[in-house]
Amino acid sequence: MAILLPQQFFNLPAGVGKSFYENLTGGINAAVTVQNNSTFPVDLVLFSVNAPVITYTIPALNSLTIAVNRLLVAALRASAAGAVFGTIQVATSDF
């Protein structure tokens, strides 16, 4: 069974990062969708159990959906190039 968490809006100044999902009790399988509506790229940073930290750069005016096993933290980070805004949504599951 999947649980679709509420969509969150982000507006980050240049060079700032923020966590948008945390499950520090052992992680959970999840899908993370980020829609970058700004003119600068945004980094999606994923922390999983027993895995290296993974960073995806989402170009301006693009989106990304990624499935992650045993997700602990999903965070966004604006580059030094400029402020970013858009949405992030997490769906948890037992896949």
Query: Cα separation of 17 and 27, whole Å?
Result: 21
CATH code of 2-93, in short, is 2.60.120.10
Convert the pLDDT of each residue in 43-67 to its tens digit: 999 999 999 999 999 999 999 999 9
> Which one-letter amino acid corresponds to residue 82?
G
Per-residue buried b or exposed e for 14-24, using 16+ beta carbons within 10 Å of the residue's own CB: eeeeeebbebe
Map out the domains of the chain as residue ranges. 2-93
Tokens 């960073």, residue located: 55
pLDDT of residue 24: 87
Give pLDDT, residue 2.
80
Q: What is the pTM of this model?
A: 0.93
Predicted pLDDT of residue 95:
55
Low-confidence ranges of the chain (pLDDT < 50): none
